[in-house]
């Protein structure tokens, strides 16, 4: 079998819809998966542009941005909503890559559509359930929290030490549940684009000290080192506190006792770069690109003690992005991880 035959067989057998257009965007070739996904045969699609499946959901600005990118020789990737020949909507992860001739001129484009309609529908059902459940849980949990605190005070007055300790454990579990519900509600706001920011200028060091004080109550043996320089940031203080709490709590949770955690902050060009370095197990290389996804949890025995929903890093990333910043993770050369994020200066 020649290389040409092998590539053609791969083209035909691929599960994703693949099509090739000329430099004007006219379809020249398409595989059977393209025909199955769109409902258009190659005979019907050939000589036409991919606009035959245009749904009307995407703005002119979206298409202008895509064409600017691919005509400059770069790959475009996005999630799109298209319309099949029968009029039904389908969702796809969409990639368009330019092909250049020996002179560097773009002569063809290769488009790939991965049909994710079922996945998107399942996500919507899950989102609706989570939204309803979290709203229903919020009120009774608030009441239970109030009752547990009242019970705690009464037991303390009576001097019933054993039952008082049990009430503290109940209180801790309720706090944990309330944090989970809060995370779910924040996720809902982020999904709907309703997260509002109250940006102000404030000192970073006092905020870091507040977060450390809260974490020290749970993890008293962890040593957290702060940056020496006094840096101010322009951000939503409450939301930034949430980001730092999420990152720092992960660092202390997965670091061994008596191992230090280093927080650094510095101004680099027009950004403030904040990093949190721990001495835990580190993030496997194949997981690093996924950990900021919604509901994603690392599949590793070292992280089995994590009882959350896999929302902390997703929420942190979305908050940072809403401030116009970036977030990423690096593994240390020796041991542990280094989470970094930026805020505009």
**Of 89 and 331, which is predicted with more confidence?**
89
pLDDT band of residue 94 (cuts 50, 70, 90) is very high
pLDDT band of residue 325 (cuts 50, 70, 90) is very high
In the prediction, which pLDDT does 6 show? 83
In the prediction, which pLDDT does 222 show? 76
In the prediction, which pLDDT does 121 show? 85
pLDDT band of residue 135 (cuts 50, 70, 90) is low
Q: Which of 175, 192, 209 is the last residue of a domain?
A: 192
Q: Which of 88, 115, 142 is the last residue of a domain?
A: 115
Whether 278 and 217 map to the same domain: the answer is yes
Whether 203 and 138 map to the same domain: the answer is no
pLDDT averaged over the chain?
A: 84
Q: Looking at residues 137-153, what average pLDDT do you find?
A: 75
Q: Looking at residues 8-34, what average pLDDT do you find?
A: 93
Whether 109 and 142 map to the same domain: the answer is no
- Helices 204-216 and 237-254: crossing angle in degrees, nearest 10, is 40
Q: How would you classify residue 326: left for phi > 0, otherwise alpha for psi between -120 and 50, otherwise beta?
A: beta
In the prediction, which pLDDT does 52 show? 94
pLDDT, tens digit (0-9, with 9 covering 90-100), for 259-314: 889 999 999 888 999 999 988 888 888 888 888 888 777 765 555 555 566 778 98
Q: Which residue has the tokens 């080192």?
A: 225
Whether 224 and 322 map to the same domain: the answer is yes
- Which of 82-86, 167-171, 290-294, 322-326 comes out lowest in average pLDDT? 167-171
Q: CA separation (Å) from 76 to 31, 98, 101? A: 20, 9, 19
**Of 51 and 188, which is predicted with more confidence?**
51
Whether 67 and 91 map to the same domain: the answer is yes
Whether 325 and 261 map to the same domain: the answer is yes
Q: Looking at residues 168-172, what average pLDDT do you find?
A: 76
HSE (CB half, 13 Å, CA atoms) of 56? 4
Whether 166 and 212 map to the same domain: the answer is no
The fraction of the chain above a pLDDT of 90, given in percent, is 42
Q: Looking at residues 14-38, what average pLDDT do you find?
A: 95
In the prediction, which pLDDT does 302 show? 55
Question: Is the pLDDT score of 173 beyond 80?
Answer: no
Whether 53 and 94 map to the same domain: the answer is yes
Question: Which among 83, 18, 19 has a CA at the least distance from the CA of 57?
Answer: 83
Question: Which among 187, 99, 65, 84 has a CA at the least distance from the CA of 135?
Answer: 187
Whether 184 and 203 map to the same domain: the answer is no
Q: Which domain holds residue 132?
A: 120-192
Whether 140 and 64 map to the same domain: the answer is no
pLDDT band of residue 160 (cuts 50, 70, 90) is confident
In the prediction, which pLDDT does 228 show? 76
The fraction of the chain above a pLDDT of 70, given in percent, is 88
In the prediction, which pLDDT does 100 show? 92
Separation of alpha carbons 250 and 248, rounded Å: 5
pLDDT band of residue 192 (cuts 50, 70, 90) is low
Q: Looking at residues 248-258, what average pLDDT do you find?
A: 84
- Which of 85-89, 99-103, 174-178, 186-190 comes out lowest in average pLDDT? 186-190
Which sign, positive or negative, has the C-alpha torsion 26, 29, 30, 32? positive
In sequence order, the β-bridge partners of residue 331 are 337
Whether 102 and 141 map to the same domain: the answer is no
Q: Looking at residues 326-345, what average pLDDT do you find?
A: 85
pLDDT band of residue 10 (cuts 50, 70, 90) is confident
Question: Which among 266, 261, 274, 278 has a CA at the least distance from the CA of 225?
Answer: 261
Question: Is the pLDDT score of 138 beyond 80?
Answer: no
In the prediction, which pLDDT does 305 show? 52
Number of domains into which the chain is organized:
3
pLDDT, tens digit (0-9, with 9 covering 90-100), for 200-219: 999 999 999 888 888 877 77
Whether 170 and 219 map to the same domain: the answer is no
HSE (CB half, 13 Å, CA atoms) of 103? 3
| Total number of residues shown for the chain | 345
DSSP notation for 250-312 = HHHHHSPTT-EEEEEEEEETTEEEEEEE--SS---GGGTTTTTSTT-----GGGTT--S-S-H
In the prediction, which pLDDT does 293 show? 86
């Amino acid at each position: 079998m020649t290389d040409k035959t092998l590539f053609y067989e791969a083209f035909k057998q691929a599960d994703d819809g693949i099509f090739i257009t000329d430099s004007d965007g006219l379809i020249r070739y398409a595989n059977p998966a393209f025909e199955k996904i769109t409902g258009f045969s190659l005979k019907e699609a050939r000589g036409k542009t991919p606009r035959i499946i245009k749904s009307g959901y995407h703005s002119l600005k979206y298409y202008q941005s895509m064409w600017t990118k691919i005509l400059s020789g770069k790959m475009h990737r996005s999630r799109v909503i298209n319309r099949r020949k029968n009029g039904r909507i389908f969702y796809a992860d969409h990639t368009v890559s330019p092909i250049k001739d020996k002179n560097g001129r773009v002569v063809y484009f290769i488009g790939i559509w991965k049909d994710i309609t079922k996945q998107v529908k399942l996500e919507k059902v899950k989102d609706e359930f989570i939204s309803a459940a979290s709203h229903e849980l919020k009120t009774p949990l608030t009441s239970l929290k109030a009752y547990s605190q009242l019970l705690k005070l009464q037991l303390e007055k009576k001097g019933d030490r054993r039952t008082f300790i049990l009430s503290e454990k109940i209180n801790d579990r309720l706090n944990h549940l309330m944090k989970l519900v809060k995370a779910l509600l924040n996720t809902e706001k982020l999904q709907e684009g309703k997260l509002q920011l109250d940006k102000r200028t404030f000192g970073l060091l006092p905020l870091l000290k507040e977060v450390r004080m809260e974490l020290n109550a749970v993890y008293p043996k962890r040593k957290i080192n702060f940056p020496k320089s006094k840096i101010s940031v322009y951000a939503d203080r409450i939301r930034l506190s949430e980001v730092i709490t999420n990152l720092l709590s992960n660092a202390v949770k997965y670091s061994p006792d008596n191992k230090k955690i280093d927080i650094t902050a510095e101004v680099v060009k027009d950004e403030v770069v904040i990093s949190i370095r721990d001495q835990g197990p580190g993030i496997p290389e194949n997981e690093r690109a996924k950990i900021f996804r919604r509901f994603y949890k690392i599949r590793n025995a070292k992280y089995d003690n994590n009882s959350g929903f896999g929302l902390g890093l997703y929420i942190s990333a979305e908050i940072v992005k809403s401030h116009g910043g970036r977030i990423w993770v690096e593994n240390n050369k020796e041991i542990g991880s280094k989470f970094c994020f930026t805020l505009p200066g």
